[in-house]
Chains A and B, each alone.
Chain A
Amino acid sequence: MGTMPMVPLVWYQLLAAILFTIGVVGVLVRRSALVIFMSIELMLNAVNLSLIAFSRQHGGMEGHVFVFFVMAVAAAEVAIGLAILVAIFRNRETASVDDVHLLKG
């Protein structure tokens, strides 16, 4: 614990930026709603990593509290989202976002 930290903050932020970008691309290019949800989790985790890194830099634990809240909201979001997905699949026999276009003009 007392050793001098080797990896600077920028590297953690770079990792978070890369993971967030991969998540954005996943949401935009995949067709399966399930994989889109997984990509959203990827983005949430990238932000969590950046919050934890800033918390380490700052020396306070507020970032950990934010990550706690993000995890709770992610759990709620996944429960509701997957329930909607199951309802759609039950009625439309598809999990692809391209086939759900009732609102398309």
Chain B
Amino acid sequence: MLEGILFAMFAGVAIGCALGVVFHRNPVHCALLLVGVLLSLAGVFILLHAAFVAALQVIVYAGAIMVLFLFVVMLLNVKGETPLLTPGAAKGFGFLFGLIVATELLWTVLSPGGSEGGPFPAAALPAEFGSPAGLGMLLYTTWLYPFEIVSLLLLVAVVGAVVLAKRKFF
């Protein structure tokens, strides 16, 4: 019962804030509403017993990445643009395409095969499910090479960001 109430609360906040991100005029408000989405998704992750990923979500996403966004908003000093949405036919096609994607996704989720999983299995999860120890055990054994590649990717991204921010290109 409590789980259902919490899920409804987090889901409602997430969807409301997501709509705000897309349709709000001021980019600073958009960024803060995105923080709302990320935090409520962290709550949903905790409902799914993914405690460590929820902590990562708060620290990495709502902390680091959103600070980066707010810095750039401050740096660029962008005002809310006067036509909020892209003008002309592109807007119509955008909403049409969104409708198509929504139909497709809902069709997939709600089709008989999609909901076959039913309620989550009541069988007890492994003790370390969702803990840093469990994630680390997988990450440093089975997924060691992808992990190293991702660290290389982050290094390249940092160097690239510095180079891009220094020079004049366009």
Q: How far, in angstroms, from A44 to B60 measured CA to CA in the complex?
A: 14
Q: How far, in angstroms, from A25 to B93 measured CA to CA in the complex?
A: 10
Most buried by B among A8, A29, A73, A78: A29
Shortest distance in angstroms between A97's beta carbon and chain B's nearest beta carbon? 8
Name the B residues within 8 Å of A25 (CB-CB). Answer: 22, 94-95, 98
**Does more than half of chain A's interface fall in helix, strand or loop, or is it mixed?**
helix
A51-90 to B contact mask, C-beta < 8 Å, 1/0: 0110111010110110111011111111110111111111
Contact of B97 among A5, A24, A48, A96 (CB under 8 A): A24
Q: How far, in angstroms, from A23 to B21 measured CA to CA in the complex?
A: 9
Shortest distance in angstroms between B112's beta carbon and chain A's nearest beta carbon? 11
**Does more than half of chain B's interface fall in helix, strand or loop, or is it mixed?**
helix
Name the A residues within 8 Å of B19 (CB-CB). Answer: 22
A64 and B53 in contact, given A15-B11, A29-B86, A49-B44 (Cβ under 8 angstroms): yes
Name the B residues within 8 Å of A18 (CB-CB). Answer: 15, 18, 102
B49 lies within 8 A of A29 (CB): no
A5 and B98 in contact, given A10-B115, A31-B85 (Cβ under 8 angstroms): no
B106-130 to A contact mask, C-beta < 8 Å, 1/0: 1011100011011111111110011
For chain A, the count of residues having a C-beta within 8 Å of the partner chain is 79
Contact of A28 among B48, B97, B109, B158 (CB under 8 A): B97
What is the interface of chain B, defined by CB distance below 8 A to chain A?
A: 1, 3-4, 7, 11, 14-15, 18-19, 21-22, 27, 30-31, 34, 37-38, 41, 44-45, 47-50, 52-53, 56-57, 60-61, 64-65, 68-69, 72-73, 75-76, 78, 81, 83-87, 90-91, 93-95, 97-98, 101-102, 105-106, 108-110, 114-115, 117-126, 129-130, 134-135, 138-139, 143, 146, 150, 153-154, 156-158, 160-162, 164-165, 167-170
Given contacts A10-B110, A32-B27, 5 further A-B contacts (CB under 8 A): A19-B18, A21-B101, A30-B84, A42-B34, A85-B76
Could you list 17 examples of A-B contacts with CB < 8 Å? A10-B117, A11-B7, A12-B48, A14-B110, A28-B86, A38-B30, A64-B52, A67-B53, A68-B139, A71-B57, A71-B60, A76-B157, A82-B72, A86-B164, A88-B170, A95-B76, A97-B86
